[in-house]
Amino acid sequence: MTGTPIVEMRDIQKSFGAVQALRDVNLTLNHGEVLGLVGDNAAGKSTLMKVLSGALIPDSGGIFIESQKVHFTNPDDSRRLGIEMVYQDYALADNLDVSANVFLGREIVKWKFGSIAMMDKKSMEEQAQSLMQRLRIDIDSVRLKVENLSGGQRQAVAIGRATAFNAKVIIMDEPTAALSVAAIGKVLDLIRELKNLGSSIIVISHRLEDIYEVSDRVIVLRHGHKVADSPVSGDIREFRERIVSYMIGATDDFSGQINE
Amino acid sequence: MDSTEAAKNSPEKPSNSWTKKISAVLKFRELNVAIAFLILCLFFYWQSPDTFLKPANMAIIMRFVATFGLLAIGELFVILTGGIDLSVGSMTALTGVMVATLMVKGIGFIPALSIPLSIIIVFILASLVGLWHGFSVTKMYIPPFIITLGTWLMARGLATYITRGYPIVFNSEFPFLFLGQGDLFQIPIMFIILVVVALTSSFILNSTTLGRHIYAIGGNIEAARVSGVHVNRVRVYCYITSSFLACLVGIILASRLGQGTPTVGTAYELWAIAAAVIGGTSLFGGEGSVFGVILGAAIMGVMINGMVLLNISSYLQNVILGIVLVIAVTYDTLRRHRSK
C-alpha cells in the first residue's frame, strides 16, 4: 500500500436541490486495497460511488486516477479508465446465458457492416469459461441462462463480468444483500480472490461483518460528511460498536483527515 | 458440434451431462410448437388425404403463412424489446393503396411511376412511420400500445381517404402482379420472400450484436443500459423493422389481390400477434424466435385450411382458433412458472 493511490477523490460536493448529499468528501483507494464504505441510509454512499463511476457529475471537487485529474460525464468515461461498477439489483439480463451477460455491450465481433456486427460466440464462451475458472466461480456451463442460477451465482457472475475487462477498480454496491449465508461466504471469497489477483475494490455494504471480513480499511459517511476513515482492526464486536457509533453520530473521528 | 465442444471445455461432471442434454432438448422452446404442428398436419391429412397435400392446397397454406409470418416477424422484433405494434394491419392497407396509386395513377401532376420506384418510395414512407413510432416510444415516453394505436386509425383513415373507399385496380397484364400471384416450382413467390426474410431476421437475432441487444433489452432494459447498449437506437430499429415488413406485406397483398384496397388487412395485427404468441413469444419481452413465430403462423394456417376442408362453419373456426390461442398461452405461462 505504498506509492500513489489508484483513486483519489478530493473535496467532492454534490447537492440535489436543497439537499446536500455530499459535503467536501475525500476518499482515497490504494492499489490492491479493499475499502469498505458504510453509512446509514441517505448518508451519501451511493451518491459518492455514482460520482466515481461517472453516473453523476459533482458540483465541485476533483477525481484523480493514478494522480491524473479526470472528468467523468457518463459511465462509459469511467469504464474506459478501468472503473467498473457492480450494480445492486439490475446487473444481469435473466433471459441471456452467462457468456452473453459477461460480454453484454462489449461483444467480440468477427466482422462489422454498419450497425450489424457478427458476434464471435465461440471466443466469448471460451473467455467467459476461463474467467469463471480463474475466479473459481462454480457454474456448470457458461451457456446456462442466468434465470437458472442461484442468487449467489448471479452475484458472482455480475462481479465476474465487471472484472472481465481489465478493471483496475471495482465498485460493489451491496454485493451480499439478499443472499443466503452460504452464498455470502462465496461472494466474500470471490472478493478476496480478486484482491489476490491485484484488483482494488470498494465495497458498499450494510452488513458490517462482511466489511470486517474482507476490507483493509473502512470509510464511514453520515449526512454527506466523511466521519471516519480507519483501518479494519480489533475483534468484530469492538469493530462493530465503533463503526455503528460513527454511523449514528455518537463519535466522530477525523484522524484520517488529520493524517493526510 | 458446438455443444459437444462446450461440454468438453466445461467442468461438467460426465454423469450429469446426459440428463442435462435431454432436459435441454425438452426445454427447447419450439419443440412443443413443432410437435403440435406435425400432429395437426397428420390429423388433417388423415381427415382429407386427397385434398390436403395437393399442391394447390399447399399453395393456399403457404400464402397464408407468408402473409402472417412476415407480419409476425416484424411484430417479434418489437415484442422482444417489450413493446407492441398495433399498426401493422392498417399499414398493409395504406402501403398497398399507395403503391397501387403510384403505379396506376400517379399523384397530382406526377404521372404514374415505374414499379421499382413506387416500391422504394412506399418502403421509405413506411420506414419513416416506424421511425416515428420508435422516436415517440424512446424520446417522448409514449407507451407503444398508444402510439401504434394512433397509427392504426390514421393509416386506415388515410388509405380510405386516398382512394375515396374504392379499390385501385391493376390491369390484369400488369407485371407487378407476379409478386403476389406468381410461383416458382409450385412454390408461391411470396412464400420464397418469407423464407428469405426469415433467414435474414434469424441471422440478425441470433448472430449479431444487434440481435443480442434486442434480447437483452427485453430481459432487463436497465442492465442493457448500464452495460453500454444503445438502448433507444436498438428499439427504434425494431419499430422500423415492423413497419418495413408491414409495408412488404401491403405491397405483396396489393399484387396478390390485383388492387390496392383500403379494407385489406383488417385485424391482421392481432393475427400476427397471435401467431407470435402461439409460436412461443413472450409478450413481456426477451423470449421468442423467428422459427417459433413461423411455426405459429403455420399452425394457424393449417388449422384454418383444415377446418375449411372439413366444412366447419367459419363462425366456429374463430372460436376454435381462440381456444388454441388461449391454450398455447396458458401452457407456456405455466411451463415458465414451473421452471422458475
Extended beta strands in chain A, E state = 7-16, 19-29, 34-39, 60-65, 68-70, 83-86, 109-113, 116-119, 169-173, 200-204, 217-222, 225-231
- Residue carrying the nine cell digits 439480463: A93
SS3 B1: coil
Q: How many Cβ atoms sit within 10 Å of the Cβ of residue B178?
A: 11
Which of B7, B11, B212 lies nearest to residue A107, judging by beta carbons? B212
Q: Give the whole-number percent of chain A exceeding pLDDT 70.
A: 94
Identify the band that residue B5 occupies on the pLDDT scale cut at 50, 70 and 90: very low
> Which of B205, B97, B72 has the alpha carbon at shortest distance from B159?
B97
- A88-92, A193-197, B106-110, B194-198, range with the lowest pLDDT: A88-92
Please tell me the distance from the alpha carbon of residue B265 to that of residue B172, in angstroms, as a whole number: 22
Which of B210, B216, B222 lies nearest to residue A96, judging by beta carbons? B216
**A68 interfaces chain B, CB cutoff of 8 Å:** no
pLDDT at B23: 58
Identify the band that residue B226 occupies on the pLDDT scale cut at 50, 70 and 90: confident
Extended beta strands in B194-335, E state = 259-260
Q: Where are the domains of chain B?
A: 28-335
Which of B16, B208, B219 lies nearest to residue A116, judging by beta carbons? B208
pLDDT at B197: 96
Please compute Rg for chain A using Cα positions.
Answer: 19
User: Which residues in chain B have Cβ-Cβ distances shorter than 8 Å to A136?
Assistant: none
Fold of B28-335: ABC transporter involved in vitamin B12 uptake, BtuC (1.10.3470)
pLDDT at B21: 60
User: Which residues in chain B have Cβ-Cβ distances shorter than 8 Å to A129?
Assistant: 9-10
**A125 interfaces chain B, CB cutoff of 8 Å:** yes
Q: Give the whole-number percent of chain B exceeding pLDDT 90.
A: 46
Cell of A26: 475525500
pLDDT at A135: 75
> Which of B117, B79, B100, B119 has the alpha carbon at shortest distance from B283?
B79
Element (H, E) at B133: helix B115-139
What's the pTM value of the predicted model, to 2 decimals? Answer: 0.82
Question: A7-93+166-259 domain in CATH 3.40.50.300?
Answer: yes
SS3 B151: helix
Contact B92, B264 (CB under 8 A): yes
- A152-166, B210-224, B295-309, range with the lowest pLDDT: A152-166
Please tell me the distance from the alpha carbon of residue B256 to that of residue B253, in angstroms, as a whole number: 5
> Which of A57, A79, A65, A63 has the alpha carbon at shortest distance from A11?
A63
User: Which residues in chain A have Cβ-Cβ distances shorter than 8 Å to B216?
Assistant: 93, 96, 100, 104
> Which residue in B10, B23, B229 has the most chain A C-beta atoms within 10 A of its own C-beta, making it the best mutation to test that interface?
B10
> B286–A95: do the CB atoms touch at under 8 Å?
yes
> A141–B6: do the CB atoms touch at under 8 Å?
yes
Nearest Cα residue in chain B from A102:
B227
Residue type for A210, please? D
Cell of A23: 459535503
Which of B207, B213, B229 lies nearest to residue A118, judging by beta carbons? B207
Q: Where are the domains of chain A?
A: 7-93+166-259
Q: pLDDT tens across B8-52, in order?
A: 444 444 445 666 665 555 556 678 788 888 888 888 888 888 888
pLDDT at B128: 96
Q: pLDDT tens across B72-131, in order?
A: 999 999 999 999 999 999 999 999 999 999 988 877 777 878 888 889 999 999 999 999
Length of chain A in terms of residues written: 260
User: Which residues in chain B have Cβ-Cβ distances shorter than 8 Å to A133?
Assistant: 11
Contact A68, B199 (CB under 8 A): no
Cell of B183: 410461383
